[in-house]
Chains A and B, each alone.
Chain A
Amino acid sequence: MNIPMTFTTSSFRGALSRRGVLAGAALAATMAMTGLAHAQATIDQPAPAFSATTADGKTVTLDSYKGKTVVLEWTNHDCPFVRKHYGSGNIPALQKEAMAQGVVWLQVISSAPGQQGHVDGATATRLNKDRGAVPTQVLLDPSGQLGKAYGAQTSPHLFIVNPQGVLVYKGGIDSIATAKADDIAKADPYVKTALGELAAGKKITHASTKPYGCSIKYGS
Chain B
Amino acid sequence: MNFLRSAVASLVASTTTHASNVIALGMLASLASLMSTANAAPPTDRSATDEVEVRLISASSQVAPGQTLLLALEQRIAPHWHTYWKNPGDSGQPTSIEWTLPKSATAGDILWPAPKRFDVGPITNYGYEDKVLLLTEVRLPQDLAPGSTATVNADATWLVCREECIPQQATLSLSLPVGTAAKDSTDASALSMARAALPRKASFPAAARIEGRDLLVTWPVSAVPEVKQALFMPQDWGRIQHAAKPQLDRAGEDWRLRVPVGDEPATAGKPMNGLLLLDGKAWEVSLPVTGVATAPTPTTASQNTTPAIPGLSGSPSLASSGSGEADISLWTAMGLALVGGLILNLMPCVFPVLAIKALGFLHGNASDHRRQGLAYTAGVLAAFAALGAVLLALRGAGDSVGWGFQFHSPLFVLLLAWLMFVLGLSLAGQLQIGAGFAGVGEGLASKPGLTGSFFTGVLATVVATPCTAPFMGAAMAYALAQPAVELMAVFLALGLGLALPYLALAWWPALQRRMPRPGVWMDVLKQALAFPMFAAAIWLVWVIAQQAGPMGVLVALAGMGLLALAAWIRSVSRNASSRWQWTGAGAAIASLAAVAALLPTLSAISGTDSPGATTSSGVARNAGVDHEPYSPERLAQLRAQGKPVFVNLTASWCITCLVNERVALSTDEVREAFEKQGVTYLKGDWTRQDPRITDLLKQHDRSGVPLYLFYPAGTGGAAQVLPQLLTPGIVTTALKAGPS
Contacts and interface: CB of A to CB of B under 8 A. Distances in A.
Contacts of A178: 93, 157, 167
B327 interface: yes
A1 B723 contact: no
B477 to A, nearest CB: 6
Interface stretch (A85-93, A128-136, A140-148, A187-195): A140-148
B471 A32 contact: yes
A36 B299 contact: no
Contacts of A213: 91
A100 B165 CA distance: 33
B718 A148 contact: no
Given A6-B532, A30-B312, A177 B307 contact: no
A220 B322 contact: yes
Contacts of A113: 739
Given A22-B470, A143-B718, A145-B718, A2 B536 contact: yes
Interface in A76-96: 78-81
A141 B332 CA distance: 29
A151 B326 CA distance: 11
Interface in A167-220: 170-171, 177-180, 208, 210-220
Contact of B164 (A25, A38, A79): A79
B306 interface: yes
Interface string A90-125: 000000000000000000000001011000110000
B90 A215 contact: yes
B125 A215 contact: yes
A145 B303 CA distance: 16
A214 B102 CA distance: 36
A26 to B, nearest CB: 4
Nearest to B120: A215
B730 interface: yes
A196 B553 CA distance: 63
B93 A212 contact: yes
A178 B90 CA distance: 14
B474 A142 contact: no
Contact of A218 (B312, B322, B478): B322
Contacts of B312: 30-31, 34
B159 A179 contact: yes
Given A2-B655, A31-B312, A23 B474 contact: no
A6 B122 contact: no
Interface residues of B, number: 97
Nearest to B165: A214
B477 A33 contact: yes
A145 B311 contact: yes
A196 B410 CA distance: 54
Contacts of A12: 662
A39 B307 contact: yes
B165 A34 contact: no
A29 B474 CA distance: 7
B404 to A, nearest CB: 12
B121 A145 contact: no
B213 to A, nearest CB: 10
B302 to A, nearest CB: 11
Given A34-B325, A36-B328, A53 B163 contact: no
A154 B327 CA distance: 20
Interface stretch (B129-137, B172-180, B343-351, B589-597): B343-351
Contacts of A171: 263
Given A45-B298, A214-B161, A218-B121, A148 B264 contact: no
Contacts of B536: 1-2
A21 B464 CA distance: 20
Given A30-B312, A57-B715, A23 B727 contact: yes
Interface string B564-602: 000000000000000000000000000000000000000
Interface in B276-331: 295-299, 301, 303-312, 318, 320-328
Nearest to A37: B307
B118 to A, nearest CB: 9
Contacts of A3: 348-349, 351-352, 532, 535
Contact of A143 (B163, B311, B531, B539): B311
A133 to B, nearest CB: 20
A127 to B, nearest CB: 16
Nearest to B263: A208
A121 B715 CA distance: 10
A140 B716 CA distance: 6
Interface in A10-54: 12, 15-16, 19, 22-23, 25-40, 42-46, 48-51, 53
6 contacts: A3-B352, A25-B471, A37-B478, A43-B296, A80-B167, A142-B717
The 10 closest A-B pairs by CB, nearest first: A1-B349, A6-B535, A3-B348, A179-B167, A215-B91, A25-B470, A26-B725, A34-B321, A143-B718, A38-B325
Given A1-B347, A28-B471, 16 more contacts: A3-B349, A29-B724, A35-B328, A36-B478, A39-B303, A48-B307, A49-B306, A59-B636, A80-B165, A81-B167, A145-B306, A145-B311, A151-B122, A153-B123, A178-B157, A218-B122
